[in-house]
Amino acid sequence: MQATDPPIDVSEPVLADWLRLLLTDGVGLLTAHRLLDHFGTPARIFAASHAELLPLLTRPRQADALLAAPAPELTAQLDALQAWLQQQGHRLLFWGQPDYPEYLRNIAAPPLLLYVKGRAELLPQRSVAVVGSRNASRQGVINAEQLAQALSEAGVTIVSGLALGIDAAAHTGGLNGPGSTIAVLGTGIDRIYPARNGALARRIAEEGCLVSEYLLGTSPSRDNFPRRNRIISGLARGVLVVEAAAQSGSLITARLALAQGREVYAVPGSIHATLSKGCHQMIREGARLVESAADILADLQLAAGGGALTRPGLDDSFVDRVLQAMGDDPVQAEVLALHLNQSAGELQGQLLALELAGLLERLPGGMFQRLRA
């Protein structure tokens, strides 16, 4: 199918037909694509006869639904969409249009409509998705932001899902370089979730790009987020998992990426860290181990722009000695005190100072872990 109308200047009937297809009861995305492959446009689908529709459907009631009057909410959605499109930086991309993102076009069940707010020119650019835990460790947040920034400085656009934790850090890192970032929402593009990332979302809308396949006004739903993950991986050349527990939703994105023929990368961590279990699992399943952005740039044959995780300069000899004694695995304060031949009480105050300085993280169970900035 080849559409000829530009994404914003389409006529009201064209917009209405696309929305009507999305709102048709009992017609899912796979069925909609099958109909579009055959008829070419939504208008031709709705102009078809019952007999013409039946061979392409799995249930006769789907044909009845397609030939029935439009859903009651169509008028409200159409009015809201037309008002939304009048705002600066707002676009709507239809499946089959020439400017629909090529990488996304070739996944299974791509979105019929893609609401875009911000720099739509980022969508066809070289990109890498960066995903991970919402309840990330401070080290994971640091790693995600640094890796994303290094990739962005090499001209690579960072794709993620605007969640708390790793996603937010990845977007921040992407915004700090020329590659910028794309946030794929699990809500309507006029709804920001979580609200705590509202300021970040506004910055992305100005300097990067927000996208969603969901109708305007769509609220957060548990089912929406796993579904939107196929868009995160579908827009990208590869997916990097920074931190993930064994049952993390980030692994859904990684496995979708594998199914889509994308490369998958994972940052290793301590064998004792719960948030490293998912990354280690992906590495066992074939993901490539990553220690720096250069690993990804080389593997995808993208221009290098720096990016190994860096270490801060440590001027104070005692600070240097404590951090070296900690290593990279979580350690109990009592064990560290024995190693340093120091009282646990005295060491606790020093560990607090190092924590406030952002050099280590306090973990549950009285454990501490070094942060590599």
230, part of any domain: yes
Q: In this structure, are 95 and 37 located in the same domain?
A: yes
The pLDDT tens digits of the residues spanning 218-243 come to 999 988 998 899 999 999 999 999 99
The length of the chain, given as a count of residues: 373
Mean pLDDT of the chain: 88
Nearest to 149 by CA among 126, 169, 173, 165: 173
The pLDDT of residue 8 is 41
Amino acid identity, position 1: M
Per DSSP, what are the bridge partners of residue 113?
94
Cis amide leading into 42 (omega within 30): no
Q: Are residues 251 and 273 in the same domain?
A: yes
| Inside any domain, residue 213 | yes
Please give the average per-residue pLDDT across 300-325, as a whole number. 57
- Reading the block at residue 158, the tokens are 């960072």
Angle CA 267–133–226, to nearest 5: 110
Question: Is pLDDT at 310 greater than 70 in this prediction?
Answer: no
Do 111 and 203 sit in the same domain of this protein?
no
Q: Are residues 235 and 328 in the same domain?
A: no
Q: Rounded CA gap, 327 and 368, in Å?
A: 10
Task: Say if residue 290 is in the same domain as residue 184.
Answer: yes
**How far is Cα 189 from Cα 117, in angstroms, rounded to an integer?**
8
For residues 140 and 242, the answer to whether their CB atoms sit within 8 Å is yes
197 shares a domain with 133: yes
Residue 311 counted as domain residue? no
For residue 166, what are the CA distances in angstroms to 148, 253, 265?
A: 10, 14, 15
Are 187 and 220 in contact, with CB atoms under 8 Å apart?
A: yes
Based on the domain organization, do 106 and 40 belong to the same domain?
Answer: yes
Residue 3 pLDDT > 60: no
Q: Confidence class of residue 4 from pLDDT cuts 50, 70 and 90?
A: very low
Q: How far apart are CA 123 and CA 162, in angstroms?
A: 16
127 and 199 together in one domain:
yes
Q: Which two tokens stand for residue 203?
A: 């910055």
Q: Are 33 and 109 in contact (CB under 8 A)?
A: yes
pLDDT tops 80 at residue 344: no
Residues 6 or more apart in contact with residue 320 via CB below 8 angstroms: 314
156 shares its domain with 289: yes
Buried b (16+ CB within 10 A) or exposed e, 151-167: bbbbbbbbbbbbbbbbb
CA distance 76 to 2: 28
- Going by pLDDT thresholds of 50, 70 and 90, the confidence category of residue 353 is low
Q: DSSP for 127-146?
A: EEEEE--TT--HHHHHHHHH
* pLDDT tens-digit series, residues 77-91: 999 999 999 999 999
Q: According to the model, what pLDDT value does residue 108 have?
A: 84
Q: What is the CATH number of the domain that holds 348?
A: 1.10.10.10
**113: nearest Cα among 10, 241, 266:** 10
Residue 237 lies in a domain: yes
Q: To the nearest 5 percent, what fractions of the chain are helix, strand and coil?
A: 45, 15, 40
DSSP helix/strand/coil, 69? coil
| The pLDDT value given to residue 271 | 87
127 and 77 assigned to the same domain: no
| Structural domain boundaries, residue 337 | 317-370
Q: Which residue has the tokens 């099958």?
A: 34
User: Which of the residue ranges 96-100, 135-139, 186-190, 315-319 has the most confident prediction, judged by mean pLDDT?
Assistant: 186-190
Residues 248 and 345 in one domain: no
Q: Is residue 7 part of a domain?
A: no
pLDDT at 335: 83
Domain limit, last residue, from 87, 118, 149: 118
Structural domain ending residue among the three candidates 92, 118, 144: 118
Residue 196 is assigned to a structural domain of this protein? yes
| Residue 310, in any domain of the structure | no
198 inside domain: yes
The domain tally of the chain equals 3
d(CA 129, CA 183) in angstroms, rounded, equals 10
The C-alpha torsion from 161 through 162 and 166 to 170, rounded to 10°, is 90
Q: How buried is 340 (Cβ within 10 angstroms: 0-12 exposed, 13-18 middle, 19+ buried)? A: middle
Both 144 and 113 in one domain: the answer is no
